[in-house]
Structure 1
Amino acid sequence: MAQAFSGRPVTHHEDEERPHRRKVYFWAAVGALGGFLFGYDTGVVSGALLFIKHDFHLGAFEQGLVVSILLLTAMAGALIAGRTADRVGRRPLLIGVAVVFTLGLLAASLAPNYVTLLVARAVLGLGVGGASAIVPVYLSEIAPARIRGALVSANQLLITIGIVVSYVVDLVFAGTENWRAMFAVGIVVSALMLIGLFFVPETPVWLQRNGREDQARRVLCEVVPADRVDGVLRSYRTSGDQGGGKVSWRRLLRSSARPALVIGLALAAFQQFAGINTIIYYAPTIMEDTGLNASNSIVYSVIIGSINVVMTLVAMPLTDKAGRRRLLIISLTGMTISLIPLGLTFTKLHGSGASTIALVCILVYIASFAIGLGPVFWLLNSEIYPPSVRGEAASLATMVNWLSNFIVGQAFLPVAAAIGQGPTFWIFAVIALLALLFVIKFVPETKGRSFEEIDRALQRRL
């Protein structure tokens, strides 16, 4: 990567950069709408399903499929997106994602029957998977190094905001049982994203790597002081393998990208197997099991989602100040510690005291996740790979993340029924501890570093 663009720390004054950064902020805001739609489309179904099941007379299996089919097609969307983005560019792929979101939401809001709704959810899964793989890459490749962490973390912030907004929309339309309107609201954002993408450029990294140096120079001239453009382009030429072409996953694992890919795949799995979506999906049920009244599940979801948003906001500037590695260590420590007493509330503790402890533990767990493992995984997954395989590698790690999400979601209730919820949360605690040890041993700091510096640090550790 480069000075001023995802590379070495800049040395000129902040007032020189500020006018150029305004355009970067606009481009990032448009791209990050994909993160909002990711969050909205995964969250909106929780409230909509309360009424869909009556309108379409759905059984338990059919309801579960409405939710899980998005996770399954998101895996496919992530894999398709990475290879496509490396071949045709980040911007065309994002335009395709916005179109997919729009069509999926329109089909869901107009679905005349269960099968059509299922197809619509499958289409939305492709959009969610594509956005989760490519939005962070796009943000990383347009971002100056000094604010790269904050801009890429904006994707995670918009995901959490999208989830909370979906819950609020569910709450607004719950009184009229209008689940179609719940889906239709998302079309407004997907249309804004689609329109906005016609006013943003391709990333200069992709343009330069694909022989379009004049176009890359024009993009850089809009956001970098003129006397720095040549230096940025020179750094792109030395930032890893510039070769194009199709890269198989087996070859990817055998290439110089292997250390980065090991970290990306491991963090992708750890993020889900540490139990985050289990806590989010089943928080009302968890609280009810400890004796606390959880009759209004949507309200509980809004509260927990709001904590997620607030702590993600806290994390955004810290990624470029405290650093990625330090935030991961703090995050995983807090998650591990909070899961241990949470398990105790189901085994040793009872009554109102247990409910209070469980609520505190859940909030500490969510806050710990949101300040580190939540945003930092997506940030690292967008900046540690060689530019020539970045889309492909990021999409592979994203697919592993979605697969892990699906496995944990399907396994939680059966495992909890077999061994109890307390021991199940202790399993999550052990996984979080293993993730902490992995980060301490293998994950280097990437704050303000060029790709060459990141790669040297990776090669030393793995």
Structure 2
Amino acid sequence: MSFFWKGQHHNMTDQGRTVEPPQTDDSAASVFDATRFKIIAIGVIAALAGLMSGLDIGVVAGALDLIGKEYHASTLALEWVVSSMMAGAAAGALGAGWLSHHLGRKRSLILGAAVFVVGTIGCAMGWSIPSIIVFRVIMGIAVGISAFTAPLYLSEIASEESRGAMVSTYQLMVTVGIFVAFLSDTYFSYSGNWRWMFGVAGIPAVLFLIGVLFLPYSPRWLIMQGRHREAREILMDLRNDPLEAAREIRAIREQLETKQEGFKLFRTNSNFRRSVALGIMLQAMQQFAGINIVMYYAPNILAAAHFDAHAQMWCTAIIGLVNMLATFVAVGFVDRWGRKPILYAGFAVMAVGMAVLALLLQGGMTTQSSQIAAVFLLMIFCAGFAMSAGPLMWVLCAEIQPLGGRDFGIAMSTFTNWMTNLLVGVSFLSLMKAIGTGGTFWLFAGLNAFFLLLTILFVPETKGMSLNVIEKRLMQGVKLRKLGR
């Protein structure tokens, strides 16, 4: 099954020549609108993987204390309820490279969607802490597969001009999912029904499974499989200019002269090791920036600021809303402003927000104005992340890996994302107990300042660059920060 890709018919040879009659302005505009609609539809459906990931990330913030009370769980057990999903996601990310290469991007998304359904329903029916942890691992496997495959798929469907915005759509949907989960958590917190907090995520999981069946295959993957005619038909419907589609097909064929031998390339090619190392660094920067201490533990942080239970949930939902809205900045401007300027702004905002919040928490949060300031600073921090490191690390990781090791490189960076996510999730409550809430936030403020420096030194500006050009510059030994413009 696929989208209505046969809606336009172009007579085109392998060399890119067309024999179409000239189009009138009205018909050209109609073709442009239809193409745009298809691109948007693909982006939204594929990015529903991000929505499911966001729901699974956000739901635990509201459910955690309720689960702890029902099963009398220890701090360590609760940390593993949170972090077990990341362990599953790390495993899913490792396997996603193989799945994506052999089954294809589309089929991998279908598999991920089916696993989402199983994990979501299982968590809602959990009968003990161990059972919840097991189904959280299953949910994590789905998240790991989707976090690898969806940005990869979107980067291969999108044109060079829209690639940044398309891949950023995945992270936008993650933030939408987190916000929806926070709203759902707030609603069910009044009844204390944590099972429904998990259960409602089953509805979009089923919709995602149905929707992904209608996606087209990745043209790049089809060419890798020797299915050139199908790839040409899909690209013809996704590009306004037949010559542009022909050029893209030729570029992909040139790249495919290098076989997918990721681990072998990693062992033998130092330039590829550089791109893998950069992808690992980018994902570690994203997670150690501290966003998931807010996403997983916002109610706990707000409790430290002396908010009551329902105020904790409503403030958490507001923070989720800001996180979602700020992502539109990245989607709207990543292909205009570039990757690095947005990252500079984001890390600076996060460092300052964490530092000021640390000062407030060390002061004891004894007044209502200091409580309001704490919520405001959490919103500022989330806005800084959502407009920068949240979506852009996925964009960059999809852009910097050469085709010969593309699946391996992205799998390694995605695995790093979830392992560092696991480390943050499993240690945060214990860290707060060990060095205090204020000391913990000082730590994350310092990390964000350090990441700003790393961005200056190593991160390339890839705005408007073709994947082919980025790869050639990488393999020529050009410095990482100079791979792009």
TM-score with structure 1 length normalisation? Answer: 0.89
2:357 counterpart residue number: 342
**Residues 23-422 of structure 1 aligned to structure 2 (within 5 Å):** 23-56=38-71, 58-224=73-239, 225-239=241-255, 242-245=258-261, 247-248=262-263, 251=266, 254=269, 256-291=271-306, 296-347=311-362, 351-352=366-367, 353-422=369-438
How many matched pairs? 449
Corresponding letter in the other structure for 2:331: M
Give the Cα separation in 1 of the matches to 2:466 and 2:110: 28
Give the Cα separation in 1 of the matches to 2:466 and 2:422: 34
1:338-364 Cα shifts (integer Å, max 9, x gaps): 222222223357643543443332222
2:16 counterpart residue number: none
Give the Cα separation in 2 of the matches to 1:404 and 1:259: 20
2:479 counterpart residue number: 461
Aligned 8 A contact 1:240 1:451 in 2: no
- Structure 2 CA distance for partners of 1:232 and 1:72, relative to 1, 3 Å: same
Where 1:94 maps in the other structure, the secondary structure is helix
- Structure 2 CA distance for partners of 1:55 and 1:347, relative to 1, 3 Å: closer
2:8 counterpart residue number: none
Offset of residue 59 of structure 1: 4.3
Offset of residue 288 of structure 1: 3.9
Aligned 8 A contact 2:87 2:422 in 1: yes
Aligned 8 A contact 1:105 1:187 in 2: yes
- Structure 2 CA distance for partners of 1:255 and 1:198, relative to 1, 3 Å: farther
Aligned 8 A contact 2:58 2:295 in 1: no
Give the Cα separation in 2 of the matches to 1:289 and 1:63: 17
Offset of residue 291 of structure 1: 4.8
Moved more, 427-436 or 157-166: 427-436
Offset of residue 106 of structure 1: 2.2
Give the Cα separation in 2 of the matches to 1:441 and 1:251: 23
Aligned 8 A contact 1:346 1:422 in 2: yes
Moved more, 416-425 or 127-136: 416-425
Give the Cα separation in 1 of the matches to 2:450 and 2:193: 44
Corresponding letter in the other structure for 1:452: N
1:402-422 Cα shifts (integer Å, max 9, x gaps): 111121223333333333333
Give the Cα separation in 2 of the matches to 1:318 and 1:83: 33
Corresponding letter in the other structure for 1:178: N
Where 2:141 maps in the other structure, the secondary structure is helix
Moved more, 194-203 or 173-182: 173-182
Give the Cα separation in 2 of the matches to 1:426 and 1:52: 30
2:458 aligned with 1:436, yes or no?
A: no
Corresponding letter in the other structure for 1:216: A
Aligned 8 A contact 2:123 2:195 in 1: yes
Aligned 8 A contact 1:269 1:400 in 2: yes
Aligned 8 A contact 1:341 1:357 in 2: no
Offset of residue 292 of structure 1: 5.2
- Structure 2 CA distance for partners of 1:253 and 1:294, relative to 1, 3 Å: farther
Aligned 8 A contact 1:153 1:378 in 2: yes
Where 2:161 maps in the other structure, the secondary structure is helix
Give the Cα separation in 2 of the matches to 1:450 and 1:146: 9
User: Comparing both chains, which one has the higher relative contact order based on Cα–Cα distances under 8 Å and sequence gaps of 6 or more?
Assistant: 1
Extract unaligned runs of 5+ from structure 1. Answer: 1-12
Corresponding letter in the other structure for 1:460: V
Corresponding letter in the other structure for 1:389: G
Offset of residue 113 of structure 1: 4.5
1:348-394 Cα shifts (integer Å, max 9, x gaps): 57643543443332222111111111110111112221233322211
TM-score with structure 2 length normalisation? Answer: 0.85
Aligned 8 A contact 2:79 2:425 in 1: no
Give the Cα separation in 1 of the matches to 2:270 and 2:396: 19
Extract unaligned runs of 5+ from structure 2. Answer: 1-24, 481-485
Give the Cα separation in 2 of the matches to 1:253 and 1:345: 51
Give the Cα separation in 2 of the matches to 1:348 and 1:61: 28
What's the RMSD between the two structures over aligned residues? 2.5
1:227-263 Cα shifts (integer Å, max 9, x gaps): 3332111111234763035x32882684542232222
1:7 counterpart residue number: none
- Structure 2 CA distance for partners of 1:147 and 1:422, relative to 1, 3 Å: same
**Identical-residue share of aligned pairs (%):** 35
2:440 aligned with 1:424, yes or no?
A: yes
Aligned 8 A contact 1:68 1:406 in 2: yes
Corresponding letter in the other structure for 2:461: E
